[in-house]
């Protein structure tokens, strides 16, 4: 098993453990939980209603993914790492003001681009950041994520207006 496959399996098991399951969740469930916070929260909310959880596990929403310069394996590894960071926040999301500020920055950013027509990106719709390969619609929601580029006007901040973190 490669490092990225191993990391992915760990994330499948971690999500299963969070949900009180004995077996790793299917890859489609992990991908859906990573990219659809409503689905993730519904999964968490169903921990006391096993019948509902089984329905959710059997019917993850269909998603489309997208990628610029990263290989499929690299994207899987990066998604697993993002999942781990997000898990450490308790699967929380940013407040509305932060989300609006981040999305406004992305919408006016020259690094925002349409996802290339690659199979891995067909899983999830939407525009991506060409610097990190992430779908900005999801990335901007997660408190564990950061914009990868400095603000051209204020170098101590990222384009999201947050203290710049070296990657
Ligand atoms: S995450 Fe940062 S660099 Fe990427 S598109 Fe958004 S504002 Fe631009």
Please identify, by atom number, the ligand 1 atom nearest to the C-alpha of residue 112.
Answer: 5
Domain ranges of the chain: 3-139
Measured between alpha carbons, how far is 167 from 159 in angstroms, rounded to an integer? 14
pLDDT of residue 137: 85
Q: Enter the pTM of the model.
A: 0.59
Kindly give the parts of the chain with pLDDT less than 70: 1-7, 35, 37, 63-69, 72, 116-125, 167
- Provide the pLDDT for residue 65: 45
Residue 85: C-alpha distances to residues 43, 54, 88, 93, 139 (Å): 18, 26, 5, 12, 12
Write the residue with the smallest CA distance to atom 1 of ligand 1. 147
User: What are the pocket residues of ligand 1 if the criterion is a CB atom closer than 6 Å to any ligand atom?
Assistant: 105-106, 109, 111-112, 129, 131, 136, 147-149, 159-160
Q: Collapse the DSSP code of 141 into the 3-class scheme (helix H, G, I; strand E, B; otherwise coil) and give the result.
A: coil
What's residue 74's pLDDT?
77
What is the pLDDT at residue 11? 78
Q: How far apart (Å, rounded) are the C-alpha atoms in residues 122 and 106?
A: 21
Q: Share the mean pLDDT of the chain.
A: 81
Question: Tell me: the pLDDT tens digits for 12-59?
Answer: 888 888 888 999 998 888 877 776 767 888 888 888 899 999 999 999
């Amino acid at each position: 098993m490669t490092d990225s496959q191993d990391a992915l399996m760990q994330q499948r098991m971690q999500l299963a453990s969070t949900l009180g399951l004995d077996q790793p969740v299917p890859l489609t469930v992990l991908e859906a939980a990573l990219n659809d916070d409503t689905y993730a929260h519904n999964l968490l909310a169903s921990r006391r209603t096993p019948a509902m959880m089984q329905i959710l596990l059997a019917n993850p929403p269909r998603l489309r993914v997208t990628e610029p310069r990263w290989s499929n394996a690299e994207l899987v590894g990066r998604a697993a790492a993002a999942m781990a960071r997000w898990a450490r926040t308790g699967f929380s999301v940013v407040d509305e003001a932060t989300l609006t500020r981040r999305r406004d920055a992305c919408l006016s950013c020259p690094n925002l681009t349409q996802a290339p027509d690659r199979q891995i990106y067909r899983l999830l719709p939407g525009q991506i950041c060409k610097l990190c390969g992430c779908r900005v619609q999801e990335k901007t929601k997660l408190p564990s994520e950061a914009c990868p580029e400095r603000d051209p006007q204020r170098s101590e901040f990222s384009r999201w207006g947050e203290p710049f973190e070296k990657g």
